[in-house]
Structure 1
Amino acid sequence: MRDQSISIAQRISGPFKWFVALAFFVVFLIVFLGYSFFQALSENQLESRNEFLAKQVEFASRDIQKTFRSMDQDMVFFVENLEAWTYERTSNEQLAFEKRARRIFNNHRNLVDSIIVVFPNHVLSFHFDKGNNFVRTFHSGLEEIPLNHGNEIRFKSQKNNLQIITKVNTNRFLSSELSNFYLGASAEKLVYIDGKLLGFSEMNLSPGFILDDLSLEKITNDIREGIKGEYEGEFNNSLTGKNYRAVIHQYPFDFHPFDKDFAVIFIQDKKLITSGIYVTYISLFSGLLLLLIFVIAILFQFNRNTQVANKILSQKADEINELFRRQTFLLQESKGFIYFQDAKGEMTSVGKEVEGVLGYQQKEFIKNFKDKISPNYIQELNLLIDESIKNLKEVIAFEFEIQKKNGDWIRVKIFEKLLYDEKGAFLGNVGILTDIQEKYLAEQELIKSENRLRAVLKSLPDIIFIYNNSGIFLDYYIQDQSVLFSPAPESLGKSILEVLPTPLNTHFMGFFEKTVQTGKIQTAEFEIMTKLGKKMFETRLFKLDDDRVMSIARDITGQKLWEKGLKDAIKAADQANKAKSEFLANMSHEIRTPLNGLLGIIGLFENTPLTKDQKDFIQIIKDSGDSLSKIINDILDYSKIEAGMMELKMSVFHFKDEIQKIIKVFSGLSIKKDIELTYQYEGLIPTFIELDKEKIDQILYNLIGNALKFTPQGGKIHVLITGEPFLESNIILHFDIKDSGIGIPKDKLQILARPFVQVDGSNTREFTGTGLGLAISKNFIELMGGELKVDSEENVGSTFSFNILGKIFTKESLIISVKSFAGNTPDLDWKNMAAKYPLKILLVEDNAINLQFMQMLMNQLGYDIEIAKDGYEAIEKVEKSPLDLIFMDIQMPRLNGLKATQIIRKKAGGEAFKIVGLSANAFQEDIAEALASGMNEYLTKPVKIPEIAKVIQSCFFELKKTKGVI
């Protein structure tokens, strides 16, 4: 290797002088050819620049025309989809319409200045102000909108005679579009508009560009004909004072419906196109000289460095030897060796690794290698070699068994490269023999494992088929073929569509194709008629490998029968639950009816002269009645929740005012028990929120009430409310009610929110109640998208936490409308109201106690009322004399209050008075049904005296307003 390196150095130093002469010749040649080469390059540079300008001006024109047509198509689609009633129906149509208008602005911001939409009864305009705010404006008519008829495009709807006027800013649009094309500092970008040239700058289009008359005439003629063009002419930029010979490229475009000629024109100074070539040539020439000097210097140093190069070559030779050593090591690790054979099949050479693989010496193996091959493979191996030589194959591979020197037989694999001369005559081969005994044993074990798997599949009771990816049956494993349409062997080689009956075959084939496409397991259920009767099968299809799919079908007839029985049981349970809810509703009605009379009479009794003891007794009876009413309400609420009938009644209200009102309710009790009750806000708490106010009130009443109940005297209760806005107008409200009460044992926390469950369930417990408050609160919280959490420690206190989702309202118009709901009614003094609020009142009631209560109440109020005991009598009273107000019971014999109300409303003058429903039915659907029948309001028994008085007052003011008195 070292001698070879020295020889290379000598061959290089021989022609050294010729390289020097060649270098001087190249210098002379560069000078000689420089001028002619420069001329050719200048022409090529000019031609290349012309091609570039032609393409750029075409791209610019097409982009401008495409963008303008896109705007035109969007506006046509917009006007054709307008409806005349857009601003006369719901806000959803208005919102969708304005979103479409804003989308057009966003898509064509540089072109569209404003959009004017002309409806039959409205004129609207849309534009973006200086603060980039999307502004909608209503106008009394088109006359108040300034129009410049040179920049408006009118779009009319063919189907509903609506019109859209679009104001466009062509200068801004063209400026924006042309800014996307960079032509270099020496080029000008112009726009041709009906014989005028406007020059492009970063902000607008400015005049001041002049072409010679001949060039301008050619350009004008081509643009009118719609032909692109390339020209040379004199160009003057009056803004900069420049006047030069220029190359000009123009491409016309269409601005329909504007009836003008438009084109984009790119102009560049012809001299500046080639001016850079001079500098380039000087640099190139200098570079070549320096390069030649550098090469000559390297050649002079070459001989001096020859010895160093020889040393490096020697080192490389050592590296090559190391590489061969590593290759040998790799063969040893892979248990293989290389061998060479001649055309007669005799071995001419073998690697020394043969001793490590088979134990033979190299010469020993070369001489007797054929005797070591197992006789079972000799004939097959010779046949393979002969066939390969005959067919001029270049490589062959074969596995067989060979005997090692110690007598063991092992599995080996040979890979041979067959060598031929130019005429195709066999010259010999080179091959690699590898010991694959371990791999062979592993493959045999895999085959045994697969056979065991087949045995398992054959023993399964399921119906198993294997298909190719086209749905052709390949194999099966079935114990009982009586459930098949045809014998399994007859299915092999056929497709699913051929074997299965219609329409099952197409249905099953759909699942099969989905399995092949997605590679995911597909499950399907089929009902088929077999020889044993109707059967239900569950079939799973999955990819067995890249080329096969397996289906496993199982008879699930018994399972389906069991599921049907389970569904029937669930249906029976639902019916029982419904019966329970109906029972609770009926019981509520039966309890509320006498309770209404009881609490009503007590309310009247309070206003009579009483001793102190009598007032105390009355208060005890009243508190007991209110407690009974609350228990009934809790039971009804929970029955609604169980029946899935509880719904959210969303309303917008002043959130902090409502919280303050709730806290005030408990202030008296907290002072009485010497408990410090505080509340605090954190985060962003909006003024107005949309929630179910009644349910959030009930939740807080339950939780704060429980905290007061279980907190001893001198304790503390703190209510923390935090707000976290998300997704613009939504908010998550988080509540923490923390007390220093008796706490809850950890083993009771899991059952705390269960219905009818209390922590202390003994008959000696200190705190009483139904055990429904937390259960109802938990369900209300979950209905509003939240979760109730309890953290408690005995004798330390408890923290009840929950979060709910709400909606923020901040618009001034909405705030005003919400405030108006509260109204400003004068203070109500219900004693002897008849003098102040004279009304003709009819009471429709069949229950004797409630009738007596209402008569006594009306007497105290100062009213002499008429009475009807069912719906028919109420109708007769209405027909005989005019009325102002009817209190209508719902459940009555002969004709109930709902049907009576419907009949009264249909009669002449039936809308002139107010009908207020009175019922013990407190479900929301009962209230909705009453209002739908024609009733104006609905009061739930037990009715309180202030409620009756408030209804009378409201009716009086409404009648006065109707008659024009107020």
Structure 2
Amino acid sequence: MKLKNEILSRPKKGGLRWIVGIGILLVFLILMLGVSFFIALRESQISSRQLSLNKQVEIAGKDLQKSFDAMYEDMVFFVNNLEPWTYQRDGNEQLAFEKRARRIFNNHRELLDSVIVTFPEDFVSFHFDRQNVFVKSTFGSREDLPKIGKNSIVLQNANKGVGIHVILNLNRFFRGELGNYYLGSSGEKVVWCAGEFQLFSDNFDISQIELEPEIALAIQNEINDGLKGYMVGEVYSPGDLGSKFKATIHYYPFSLQAISERFAVVFIQDISNIGFDVYNTYFYFLLGLTLLLAAVILLLYQFIKKVQGTNRQLKEYSIEIQELFRRQSLLLQESNGFIYFQDENGKMTSVGEEVTEVLGYEKGDFLRNFKSYIDPMDIQSLQIQIQNAVERKLDVFETDFNFIKKNGNWIRVKIFEKFIYDENGDFLGNVGICTDIQKKYEAQQELIVSENRLRAVLDSLPDLIFIYDNNGIFLDYYVQDRSLLLFPPEYTQGKNFREIMPEPIKGQLEVIFEKIIRTGKSQILEFEVMLPIGKRIFETRLFKLDDKRIISMARDVTAQKLWEKGLREAKEAAEQANRAKSEFLANMSHEIRTPMNGLLGIIGLLENTKLDQKQSEYIRVIKDSGKSLTAIINDILDYSKIESGMIELFPSIFELKKEFSNTLKLFEGIIKEKQIKFEVHFSESLPDKVSLDKEKINQVLYNIVGNAMKFTPNNGVVSVRVDIESFMDENFMLEVSVSDTGMGIPPEKITHLTQPFVQLDSSTTREYAGTGLGLAISKKLVELMGGELSIESELGKGSTFTFSIFGSISQSESTGEIPDMHQGEGAGFSYQNMAEKIPISILLVEDNEINLTFMRMTMEQLGYHIEIAKNGLDGVMMAGKKHYDLIFMDIQMPKMNGLEATKAIRKFDEAGNPVIIGLSANAFKEDVDTAIDAGMDGYLTKPISIEDIARVIKDTFGKHKKRKL
């Protein structure tokens, strides 16, 4: 019993272990509590500082840009008010000028280093020296002026011949402006420019600061894209590249007017020690609480857990806020704007507080009635644009329109919207920014007015110019020859034309002025006047220069009127003779082309028979001669068409660079044969798609490049350069230059090159053959397309041919292409035993016996037995009685031509069977278009090869096969 009581009185080891375990667990929980508290506290402080720095860096960037813009506007105002005679008059003018210069220096003391003012004959500079004394310096000539560095701005007033060279001290400017922001002892203020991070801290001289290469590159890319943001990474300590610390880096890009470089404000905050100072205080406090936590450990644990959950939510909210700021950076392209949110139905759900400052409306008023404040002329167009953008699944959308402010003033605003879609691509709404661009819009409109005004003057090329107000008072003049005036031009200034102009000119001018003011249209007045030099006839053109002024441009047309009648009669006689010649050439070319079809076709068939070497050589000579004759006939047809005035432009939309590249590939054979170095340069500003006559511009390019290839010796150089100059939005002037290192052209013969049938060497022993029509045709086609062809050459060095074409840029996907049966597979297509592989029924409608013989022989070689109709009427009757898969239809035939026959067949065969292919010697595009419009499926121009016929049969078989499927 005693032993039992002794054993029971001992403490149980299990209970002690449990107590020890509880103690250890309690200590561990306290340590975990401290660590968790430290992490939560650190993340909270970092998040708070990041939000603060995001706002500070944005304010700093905007302040820098605002201060610089203020200086720039002062300088523009200063240069626009300079007078060229400032230093040519008394001292009061100079004193007033220097006071203005000093006042500008005082207003922008931190930014300006020195200012150099250039007058027509005087050169003056201003700056403050180290003793804060305003110093003026003069220079004898422009060459004595100090050199201008990259941190400078040049402003010119060309009308007065004065200018200002502003030399900036950007380092002092940045240090002064950034000194207004306090980041604490662990913060650094940096300005990024041209890939360098320059430190502007209060504790260091201006120097570069280094970041992790990956972080630095990422920041530079976002700055170059115009995006603000922040990143966390390693930064080397200023002055000690061996030491680095972890920091949060916030950046905001900005630009300075007239300076091409991009800048950004960068604030760096050391976060490596955040939280430790506060934690030291709480550490001892937590250590003292260990004795009290035993009773409340579970409650405290739940509290910490709840705090951690709250911190996680705060972190998630912080990420969402940061993402919102990043979206905002895509939209904030300009200042003086506000952000808004809309749902999928276009209802305004939220708007920024700035709407009141920008437009004057309260938030609630704007949310309810914003659509009623948009110009009624713009609201429908705006809704259609947004609907189209949503249907196309665009990510962003921007446009501008008129908006009325609360005070009743209309302003121009620009909206930039980011569209939001769900995972299924359904539109959820958009976030956008609306910006007041009224000043910019007014400046653009004024620029357009000025450009139109200058263009009107330049287009007129006048001899005598007078400018009036709307009442007819002379305001200004430009006179080349005073002998053509009734009075000295100085006498007219400030007087009304009614006071000095004689009748009947005065009465005619009164009527014209009334029409111009009422209709805004230009008027032409032709009158005779007796001058001291004799009787003169003038043609005067009057039109509005702007809303308040009218301009007249007069030229002496006396000589023109004297020989105009004779010229008209001579022109009519020449045109009649030219038409007769062109019609004769066209008819003769057509009559030659028809037998040429039979000749070249039968030669092609003969090539495929068994021939010895000598016979093959004879056949090749005959075939080459026939092709040369065909090329000559084509040139004659082209030129006769141009001379008869019946050629037209057929613009289509196509890829210019791709089309030129395909045309230039045709010269690969001669390039390899003559070992020519061929260079091609396309301008980077060349548009993707243009609207031009593709065939005619390709013909010009082929003629001129072919001419350069022909006259360039072996191992020579041929260079093609394609440039473009855009103007008036969608229009452009295309300039193509082709240079070679050939023998060159004598100066006296250059003007004759573009005349028809003219060649440099017209002797019977000349080295280069041709009709002499290529350049003449090219010149006519270029002029038809609104351009000109120019030639520069130097004997022994080579020539440069340059032609320009007027065209327009197009965004349309339509190309306007027509069927062309000469496109597709090349000569390598196999047509042996086609009838066995491709069994189809064929009808030939042809009246010419030579062509009938050729087609019969061709079809026999292909293995086909064809049926023949010798005119269009017989062809229609045979097609009505029997189904044919393919019909070859000649165009010109007796009784009924091929076009009428095709239309008749299509009337009783609306399903599109059979395939009808036109055959004609007419090779013009309008002839092809007419055939296609009549219902033909394709068109073959004579002479026709067996390869062309075999390919048409194969294509026809493929079409019928698809229809059956």
Structure 1 length normalisation: TM-score?
0.45
Larger radius of gyration: 1
Structure 2 length normalisation: TM-score?
0.45
